[in-house]
Chains A and B, each alone.
Chain A
Amino acid sequence: MKAKSRAKIVIWARRLTQAACLILFFGLFWAAGAREGEPARILRLFFDINPLLVLITWFSSRSLPTLLTLLSLLTLASALLLGRIFCGWICPLGTIHHVASVIRKRKRHTDTSRDNWSVWQRSKYYMLAVLLVMALLGAQWVGVFDPISLLYRVSATTLYPGAQYAVEDAATALYQGNPGLGPLKATAVSEPAYRFMRNHVFIRNRQAFLGATLIAALFVAIVLLNLYRPRFWCRYVCPFGALLGLCAKRPVLQLAHTGECTHCGRCAVRCPAAASPDVPHHWRSTECFGCWNCVAACNHGAIDFRVQSPLRAPSEARLDLSKRALLASGAGGLCGVILFRLDPQTQQRIYNPDLIRPPGARPERDFLKRCLKCGVCMKACPTNAIQPTLFEGGLEGVWSPRLVMRLGYCDYNCNLCGKVCPTEALQPLLLEEKKKVKIGLASFDITRCLPYAYNRECMVCEEHCPIPQKAIYFLLEEVTLRDGGKRVVKRPRVDPELCTGCGICENVCVFKDRAAIRVTSANETRHAGNRPILAGFSSPETSAPAPSQEADPYGGIKN
């Protein structure tokens, strides 16, 4: 078979693989937290096979979360043998960039100026160097740039909520307007579709994320960069691509000029990677995605992929990373870490009351060494409480998870976030362990709380408190009213021994702007320095020597 026709078959195989991997990525994404039950490790497949994340997390935290991450060696092996086929065939973000590049008007002429190799393609290797140095010094920032973390974060905070919003609001608008021609109503179609989506696809009430517009805008920007250069991100920025490129210096599958080249440049125009397929003996294996477009583009059968001995260098072209630039990258990484650590919060000299990490979060420094900012916990959180930070955790912790109790709360009977975290930045806890973890402490704002500020009845916080003995209880207090009369009012209090800071009280408080009971990070289990409440002795709020059923300030009926 001629090289060109064979290449066309390979290209279709690639397209199918790309589509399958994209579907798999979003399928696993959808499954995270969609249904009850133990989340399977396979939900994190794309993280486990990602050698960049595994390497950096290993460097920064000096540990591997699970042996399954050894799967990432397969990805490295694929690069050693076949080049950056992960980029060309598997990477879901690569596929999105690929499609966006194709949308760019295809050039008919052979102007290769935008597709020639550029020295700027080395920048991704310098990026990788910066991230590696930072990781060795104990700071993890790879998740900001890693394509899997990035796409997951974008999907969790914008694509998925956006899709749900569009489907549900469109269906609801049809439902409320009920347009149609005579007896033919639009709702006859839209309602069953809506019900199917609601009961089987989205299931949960829609999520919304603070700062999602910034995450979305950055995503749109990197997709639009494909108009400037095809697969701009993959060519110039992606540190994962850089790592694979370093492994692909001498692959077994190499592009070779096998026939008479007319120097028409068609192969170079079709090459999304600017890997110089058109220059004999200068094909750049470190850049090539193995997409086979070049072979299919050649009308003369002049180029083809061949199995070659890796001992033989594929090309005279060298990566030629500048030692100065590498040194500068290392220095940059060092400076980055120092800057991160200058933050008083990172030094744990102060504690941000609004930085309430999910249960199972390691102490802040240790947490940041592992957190990929990928948003799996945000996707999985059933109450939408887990939100991306902006600067609440410092620049180092940008887009890392925190709980915002106005939007959700930590479900007492849920420990999902720790179970889906790919790097155990949130440790997987048994439910009974998780119930004992304090993530914060609730306190009343008595200038707003209805029984305090207005002598009104209200007990919504107490009603919702999930602690079996109730961490919120009432004291009966006699108050003097405006007209001088007296009344007894039930006023709620928090028992700091029992309160875990789950935040459902803040979530359900009748004040919707700023709740009259609010949770701060005080008393969080993970930081001894942030615990004002001396633990382990019976609450001074009860007169009995030890807490007991009888001491319960309002007990109801006993068995």
Chain B
Amino acid sequence: MRDGHTRREFLKRTAAAGGAMALAPLGAFAAEGAASAPAEMAIARWKAAAVTSPEEIKAMAIKLTEQAISAIGGMGRFVKKGNVVWVKPNMAWNNGPEFAANTNPDVVATLIRLCFDAGAKQVKVGDKTVHEAQKSYPASGIEAAAKAAGAEVVYLDDNRVKEVELKGKRLDKWAVFPEIIESDLVINVPIVKHHSLSKVTLCMKNYMGVVGGDRGQWHQDITTCLCDITAFMKPRLCVLDAIRILTAHGPTGGSLDDVKRMDTLAAGTNIVALEAFGAELMGHKPDDIPLIAAAAAAGLGTADYRTIPLRELEVT
């Protein structure tokens, strides 16, 4: 990566940060509000009357995103003037937003706007899709929303991947899309979905969209592979879209019967904490998800999200 940090340095930093967090008085952040040091994770829940129309859902998505980002210190904490930011939603499936297979387009558009407000020079949006990008980008609604917000929507070129050293437990080297990892910041914006192998697909699995090659092999040891790619990506900001969640037949979806409205969004710096929160939303105990335990053991974050500086917002 551009800054030349090794995974080892990253892990040291993560461990140090985790230690500092452990020492911080619990609950202090939630009590003191935005005046003190920013939270490491924010959960924004819609508490106004239930909304149904597309315009109302859009307005809700914007508010949830803005307030969650603000609660963890604002986008200026992550984006410096002149930065190139890659927003990485899940836009891999040729399905409309209502089917909850792809990230909410208004969440993505709001993040783009916040990046520009924080001084980003360029914001790019793209995903290594499962269905053809030419189909899934427009179908997800993200292409239009991202373009309207001023981002460049990138159709990744399968022939332009670069093999990098992951030096993971399972993955030694793998082909990634250089355009993504050369960005100054990658914002990971998945949607909460069911998955028959890992039970849930959240932030860590969203990183499968930055790699090329035959990702299918990873499923033979999905836990270790996702820990390896997450360690490589050094997540700094993840935004978990749980406005709609896909409760069954994921990750493709396709039936509205499997979609549930949660009207919730979480943002944070601790990817494992977000994974745990997402697993709870899906009705699982985080301990029952092998990926979360493995990621915590690998030092990628904290499985018990209530122990880190957390703000829970009621958005109206």
The B10-48 residues at the A interface (CB cut-off 8 A) are: none
26 A–B contacts, CB within 8 A, in A order: A36-B139, A172-B160, A175-B160, A198-B155, A199-B155, A205-B157, A205-B158, A411-B135, A457-B197, A457-B222, A459-B197, A463-B219, A464-B252, A466-B252, A468-B254, A469-B249, A469-B255, A474-B196, A510-B217, A510-B219, A510-B220, A512-B214, A555-B248, A558-B248, A559-B247, A559-B257
A557 at the interface (CB under 8 A from B): yes
Known: A199-B155, A413-B135, A509-B216. A467 touches B254 (CB 8 A): yes
Chain B 158-191, CB-CB to A under 8 Å as 1, else 0, gives 1110000000000000000000000000000000
- Contact: A464 with B130, CB < 8 Å? yes
B65 within 8 A of A: no
Interface residues of A in 437-474 (CB under 8 A from B): 450, 456-460, 462-470, 474
Contact between chains at A463 and B196 (CB < 8 Å): yes
Among B131, B138, B214, B221, the residue within 8 A (CB) of A411 is B131
A382 within 8 A of B: yes
Query: A residues within 8 A CB of B135?
Result: 36, 382, 411, 413-414
> Cβ of B6 < 8 Å from any Cβ of A?
no
Collect the chain B residues with CB atoms within 8 Å of residue A35's CB.
138
Within 8 A of B (CB), among A476-514: 508-510, 512
Q: Tell me whether A557 and B134 are in contact (CB under 8 A).
A: no
A16 located at the interface, meaning its Cβ lies under 8 Å from any Cβ of chain B in the complex: no
Contacts of B260 in A (CB 8 A): 559
**Cα of A464 to Cα of B93 in the assembled complex, Å:** 10
- How many residue pairs link A and B with beta carbons under 8 A? The number is 118
Contact indicator A198/B157 (Cβ below 8 Å): yes
A169 and B154 within 8 A (CB): no
Do residues A459 and B155 form an inter-chain contact, with CB atoms below 8 A? no
In the complex the two chains form, is B247's CB within 8 Å of A411's CB? no
Cα A458 to Cα B221 with chains together (Å): 9
Given A205-B157, A468-B255: A557 touches B194 (CB 8 Å cut-off): yes
User: Does A412 belong to the interface (CB within 8 Å)?
Assistant: yes
Chain A: interface size category? 35 or more
A488 smallest CB distance to B (angstroms): 14
Q: Report A's interface with B, CB cutoff 8 A.
A: 35-36, 168-169, 172, 175, 198-199, 203-206, 382-383, 411-414, 450, 456-460, 462-470, 474, 508-510, 512, 549, 552, 554-559
- How far, in angstroms, from A556 to B255 measured CA to CA in the complex? 14
A465 vs chain B, min Cβ distance (A): 7
* A172-B157, A556-B258 known, 17 other contacts, Cβ within 8 Å: A199-B152, A205-B133, A205-B155, A205-B157, A206-B159, A382-B134, A382-B135, A411-B135, A457-B219, A462-B196, A463-B195, A510-B214, A549-B257, A556-B247, A556-B248, A557-B194, A559-B260
Q: How long is the Cα–Cα vector from A175 to B194 in the complex, in angstroms?
A: 39
- Count of B residues near A, CB < 8 Å? 43
Known: A466-B254, A555-B248. A413 touches B155 (CB 8 A): no
The reply to whether the CB of B278 lies closer than 8 angstroms to some CB of chain A is no
Chain A residues near B152: list those with CB within 8 A.
199
Asked whether A168 lies within 8 Å of B249 as measured between CB atoms, the reply is no
B155 near A203 with CB under 8 A, answer yes
Of A450, A510, A557, chain B has the most CB atoms within 10 Å of the CB of: A557
Q: Does B89 contact A (CB under 8 A)?
A: no
Q: How far is the CA of A456 from the CA of B218 in the complex (A)?
A: 12
Determine whether B301 belongs to the interface, using a CB cutoff of 8 Å to chain A.
no
Give every chain A residue within 8 A of B196 (Cβ-Cβ). Answer: 459, 462-463, 474, 554, 556
Q: Is the CB of A558 within 8 A of B247?
A: yes
Q: Do residues B155 and A556 form an inter-chain contact, with CB atoms below 8 A?
A: no
Contacts of B283 in A (CB 8 A): 557
Query: Would you call A557 and B248 a contact (CB within 8 A)?
Result: yes
Assembled-state Cα–Cα distance A36/B139 (Å): 9
CA distance A557 to B195 in the complex (A): 11
**B302 in contact (CB, < 8 A):** no
Within 8 A of A (CB), among B114-173: 130-135, 138-139, 152-155, 157-160
Any A CB within 8 A of the CB of B268 = no
**B282 beta carbon closer than 8 Å to chain A:** yes
Within 8 A of A (CB), among B209-266: 214, 216-217, 219-222, 247-255, 257-258, 260
